[in-house]
Each structure stands twice: as C-alpha cells, then as structure tokens.
Structure 1
Amino acid sequence: GQLMVTTNAHIGNYGVTEDENESDSIKIKGLICRNFSYHYSRPEANDSLESFLEKNNLLAISDVDTRALVGYIRDNGAMNAVISTEVDNIESLKKQLAEQPQMNGLELASKVSTKEPYFYGNPDATYKISALDIGIKKNILRNLAERDCYIKVHPYNTGFDDLKSFNPDGYFLSNGPGDPEPLTDAINAARKMIESNLPVFGICLGHQVLALSNGISTYKMHNGHRGINHPIKNLLTGKGEITSQNHGFAINKEETESNENVEITHIHLNDHTVAGIRIKNKPVFSVQYHPEASPGPNDATYLFDEFITNIKNNKLQTA
C-alpha cells in the first residue's frame, strides 16, 4: 500500500462528504499530517475525518513536521516508509520496512479494481463504452454518462474478447496506482483495442498501459506529480492547461519521440515529461493527468468531448 503525506497544515477541518467520494473505499494505507482536526465546520460534511478513518480501519499519525518531511522526500525521491501504533522499537520497524517490496515492479491495480463487472449510466444511452478498471474514479464515469454513454466496467485482468463482447462503440483505460509494467493482461488488451480501430481513451495509468502496448517503456520518477496545479501545454493547439495529477511513473520520452506510430500531444511544462500521446491514423489517445479533476481544475474536460467526437466519426465511417 501507499502512505500519503499532506502538505496542508490543517487536515480534517472540512470533514467528509460521502457524495464526494471517488471510490467505495480509501485506497491509501496510512495518513501522515501536521495538525489533525477532530472537529469540522463545513456545512456540507456529514462525518468527521476521524470517524471516516476509523470506519475504514486506516492508520493516521499527526504532529509530524510535514514541511521538513516533504523537503526530504523531494530531495531524496519517493521511498518506502512505515508508521505503527503497535511497535515502538525503531530497529524492529526498520527490519520490517526492509522486507517490504519496492514500488518498481509493484502491481497494485488488482487491489483497487472491481472484482465483478458492473454497469454505469443509462442503458438507453446513444453510446456504449467498455471500460477497463485499473483504479477508476467515479467522476470519470459521471463525465462519460453525462455525454450519453452507457458504460460496462470490467476487472483489471479482463481479456479483450470479454471487453469486446459488450459490442462497445469505444474503449476506456482508467487511471490507477502502481507500476504499469506488470499489467500484462491490460497491455495485451490495449494492443487489441488499437487493432480493432475503435476509439480508445486512456487516463493516467491507462495512458502508461497504452504506451507499453506500443513498445514504449515506463520508469519510476524521482518525484511523482501530485497536486491540482500542474501546467501542461497542448502541442496541437499551443494552449496551456492547469491540470490535476497523481502519478509516480511516466513514459519514456525518447522512445515516444522515436516511435513512428505515436505522436506526443501534451507536455508537462515543469519537467517536460510526456503528458499526452495519440496513435497516428487511429482514433486513440491518452493523457497522463486527470481531465475529470475532482478535485482540481476543469481545463481538460474537453478530452471527454474529443473521445465522443471520435466515436461519432467512427460510427459515421462504418455505417
């Protein structure tokens, strides 16, 4: 699992609003913060953060100098860590920590993916989407449903034949945690999605899976992109976007530039990592960030419209 360090000094004063949850359970394994508020004042909240964490059996630690901790992580890179209420011997904790796997090669999609297929949206919608859930957020499904889509959401290891059996108008590769390289089923499915000539849209981990299916490698970043204010440049329009990002892996830029089948469409303006690609002569594209936001800016919601436009055009061409 993953521990989250918050950079905001005060955590919990907003409380928790169930309607704003992006999944059915908390995906981190622990929370590290500076000041933990046991009381909340937001009118829309219906639960305290303390109660929410207890219900989900999640460990949290407060009164940590998170400013110093974040500086250390920034300088030394993301790393394994441990917090404990049961063991207070530092050497014992170090021993436990040394036995934990590194993030490189760690497959986490199976921990967060749905166990069984399910449907989302209006069954009478105009378009049908087959979505591969490798950590999907609810607001992605909302954005698709709002654009007249009926979505069948499949587990992370679903084969292409099962994805195809829904007779979809397009395929979606979701966001999610962990290293993308162990996701061989998803990579193989993505390759066949492209071969099907149907529109494909990938976000975050789905973007990395799409790149891997085209022979482009991925790597663990020294520091991942975490936050709601990451600047992106759309190379197709020349326009800038402020985006929400949450990933610790990226695709290899040099391999992407030399791949004759792939075009870079978006670039991160801070470190110039690849933030978006499309497959040449195919209605297939992906981005490294979260156009659905929640939380974050809505600069990039047009990408959902582009996906629908690709579906419309493809249906006209094959009619």
Structure 2
Amino acid sequence: MTEAVLVLEDGRTFHGESYGAEGTTVGEAVFATGMTGYQETLTDPSYAGQIVAMTAPHIGNTGVNGEDDESRRMWPAGFVVRDPARRTSNWRSTGSLDDELVAHGIIGISGIDTRALTRHLRDRGAMRAGISTELNPGRLLERVTASESMKGADLAPSVSTTEAYVVPAVGEKRFTIAALDLGIKTATPRHLAALGVETHVLPSTATAEELLAAGPDGVFLSNGPGDPAAADYAVAAVQGVLDARRPLFGICFGNQILGRALGLGTYKLRFGHRGLNQPVLDRVSGTVRVTSHNHGFAVDAPLDRPTDTPYGQVEVSHVGLNDDVVEGLRCLEVPAFSVQFHPESAAGPHDAAPLFQRFVDLMEEARAGTASAGGPSLVVEHSTGEKN
C-alpha cells in the first residue's frame, strides 16, 4: 500500500495508507458521525471543498451501487477512514468503495486514529487540512496554510445545475414548484414527486423572476455548500419570492438563505453538525426528532422571542438539543418556513420526512386563499414511508 499523510493547519499530523485516488488535496477537515450512508455522504454536494472523516471505524462494508447516489458525482476534497472494508458484502453492491473513489478522483487516507482526529477537531474546531501520497508533512502544511478558508467561500454555483430540468410528479400532478439548486440531492424531488409535486430545478443564480416565471405553486431552497454570507444572489432571489408571498420551504443552506433574506445574520459553527443522529426539538409540538445534518454555518436568531423583520415576525421553530443552535425558522406573516436539517432522509433517519407534506399543505392553503404563515410543526402521520 502507498503511504499517505494527513496534515491539519495547526501542524497535527497523521500517517496512514492511501485509500482511493493518489495525489495531493486540501480542504476543510470535518467529521461525519453516521454509522452508515457513506455513499450518500460522498455524493452530497454540501460536502464540496471538505475533507470528510468518518467516525464509524468500518467503512465500505456494503460497497457501492447505482441507486444511492445523491448527485452526478462525488464532491468531498478528501476522505478519511480508519478501517476500510477488505471486501464488500451486500446484495445491492455493484462495486467497491475504494474503486469508486479512484474513479471519481477522491484522494483518501486510511489506517489513522479517527477518534483522535475527531477529538482534535472538536477541541480546536474545523480547520484546513491536506492529504498527500507525494508530499512530506512540511511541504503539505505549506500547501494547507496557503489554501482558502471555508469562511467566505461561495460554492453553490460550482455544484449547481447549469441548465434547468424537470422532475415529474408520480401519478397525478397536484402542484408545481421551482427549486433553487444550491446543491440539491436527488432524494428531495423524489420525495416531492411521491406527493404529486412536479419540480422544476433551476441553477443557483436564478433570479426571483426566473423562479416565478412559470407560475409555480411554491418555491423550494435546497441544501448546499459554502458560506451563506457569500450568496447574495440567492438572498435577493428569496426576497423576491417573499415579496410575491409565494409558499416557500428551505432546508439546510436554504434555511440560512431564508434567514439572511429576512434580515437575520449567520455565523460559522466551531465544528458543525454532520451525521445522521442529531436530536432536534420541534418547539411548536414539543416533540423531538432524530435528524440528518450537514452544515458548518447557522442562523443567528433569538430563541426566546419572535424577531421583527421586513416580512413580519419570524420565530425559531426548531432547536438543536446538543448545543441550542437554530434548526428551523417559521414566518408568522408570510407563507415561508425552513429547517437546518435534511428531511429527505438520504441516508436516514426518516423522522423529518413529513416536512415535505407540510410544504404541500402550505401550497394547498395558498391555492385556497387561506395561507398566511409558515404553519404548524411537522405532522408525523403524513410520512410517505419512502426508504432511500
């Protein structure tokens, strides 16, 4: 096996073996706590520009397949695992993870103490890092410290579609929506399609006029990578949608963009939330959901009271139970709401899938002329039960 080295920007160094493609890469070192779902993680555009360390020790056991990809390619700058699977064992497998990493040019490292790396990132915060099979630690550190920070990075246009496309509804079409692709995952329009929604996916730089041109029943803001403070174009588009009082639902990066459009601030988290086991309190219903997360930035809003904005009052609808981070917004005077987590459940859990039904309910209310606000919390009995 080829030797590889991982160097953090503060000089911490880990020696291991190459896993995937060989070469040199730099990015922001983060950790993901999911025990499964590595294929969905690797194909999630929200991980663009990041070196992802998996905290679960055994990765690659079930191989890869042609059904679980969440986009057209793998996006992370690098991949870190402790014990890669020696062989795959799953009836759906069509290949091995290491071969797939090579095919997509993803440079990785294995055989390092990922527990020590995770503890270091929790203590010191997410930071720039590099993986190399060709540079010594000193030269790699120079490359890392010369690289760009995630703060201020505008990455959505680099992962978004360049041409609009349509995902048709399954069965009878009930509604049509425009989705702003900031890094959308394929599971999102699939969930909406199962509810009778036709999704028109537009590039990240689409204007409000372009989003509303076809007269959609609602507008969706997707997940995506980078710093929301750098995405002024998306903020302007969302403000135009809010001005038109069109029902709007945002997730992850879309939650942050809605927050900015309402006049709220955003900030970078110390090490972010990435994984499938994040507990979130729905403050409206008083229930707790275990949710899927992938974000390094968050909305800055008071938890103890609604906030006055140019679009009326907005309240924090969901809160992360690990650290009280804002996990959702609910507008009280315009039909808009958002959550920081991933309700499309790719990969799992499925607690938040009913939020898509809430979006459908909001569009139905708007069509009937009764919608005025982001509405109540998610309703569990509306879950599609779809498994990804």
TM-score tier by shorter-chain length is: over 0.9
Pairing of 1:286-305 with structure 2 (within 5 A):
286-305=338-357
Shift of 1:142: 0.6
Pairing of 1:1-319 with structure 2 (within 5 A):
1-87=49-135, 89-122=136-169, 125-254=173-302, 257=305, 259-260=307-308, 261-317=313-369
Shift of 1:195: 1.1
Secondary structure of 1:290's match? coil
- Identity, in percent, stands at 39
Moved more, 32-41 or 286-295: 32-41
Q: Deviations over 1:196-234 (max 9, x none)?
A: 111100000000000000111100000101111111111
- How far, CA to CA, are the matches of 1:27 and 1:99 in structure 2? 21
- What amino acid is aligned across from residue 183 of structure 1 in structure 2? A
Shift of 1:76: 0.4
- How far, CA to CA, are the matches of 1:172 and 1:111 in structure 2? 19
Which TM-score applies when normalising by structure 1? 0.96
Shift of 1:38: 4.0
1:256–1:105 CA distance, 2 compared to 1 (3 A):
farther
- What amino acid is aligned across from residue 209 of structure 1 in structure 2? I
Moved more, 254-263 or 267-276: 254-263
Q: If each structure's helix is expressed as a fraction of its own residues, which one has the higher value? A: 1
Shift of 1:101: 1.0
Secondary structure of 1:102's match? coil
Moved more, 90-99 or 307-316: 90-99
Secondary structure of 2:67's match? helix
1:273–1:4 CA distance, 2 compared to 1 (3 A):
same
Secondary structure of 2:127's match? coil
Q: Say whether the 8 Å CA contact 2:306–2:316 is kept in structure 1.
A: no
- What amino acid is aligned across from residue 289 of structure 1 in structure 2? F
- How far, CA to CA, are the matches of 2:214 and 2:139 in structure 1? 51
- What amino acid is aligned across from residue 98 of structure 2 in structure 1? E
Q: Say whether the 8 Å CA contact 1:216–1:256 is kept in structure 2.
A: no
- How far, CA to CA, are the matches of 1:306 and 1:122 in structure 2? 17
> Aligned-residue CA RMSD in angstroms?
1.5
Q: Say whether the 8 Å CA contact 1:17–1:44 is kept in structure 2.
A: yes
Shift of 1:279: 1.2
Secondary structure of 2:230's match? coil
- How far, CA to CA, are the matches of 2:282 and 2:54 in structure 1? 29
Secondary structure of 1:83's match? strand
Shift of 1:256: 9.1
Secondary structure of 2:108's match? strand
- How far, CA to CA, are the matches of 1:5 and 1:277 in structure 2? 30
Shift of 1:178: 1.1
Matched residues, number: 317
- How far, CA to CA, are the matches of 1:294 and 1:231 in structure 2? 17
Shift of 1:302: 1.4
Which TM-score applies when normalising by structure 2? 0.79
Shift of 1:50: 1.4
Runs of 5+ in structure 1 lacking a partner?
A: none
Q: Say whether the 8 Å CA contact 1:216–1:255 is kept in structure 2.
A: no
Shift of 1:140: 0.7
Shift of 1:155: 0.6
Q: Say whether the 8 Å CA contact 2:169–2:194 is kept in structure 1.
A: no
Secondary structure of 2:193's match? helix
Q: If each structure's strand is expressed as a fraction of its own residues, which one has the higher value? A: 2
Q: Say whether the 8 Å CA contact 2:178–2:218 is kept in structure 1.
A: yes
- How far, CA to CA, are the matches of 1:61 and 1:221 in structure 2? 25
Q: Say whether the 8 Å CA contact 1:121–1:149 is kept in structure 2.
A: yes
Q: Say whether the 8 Å CA contact 1:38–1:50 is kept in structure 2.
A: no
- How far, CA to CA, are the matches of 1:30 and 1:39 in structure 2? 21
- How far, CA to CA, are the matches of 2:220 and 2:67 in structure 1? 24
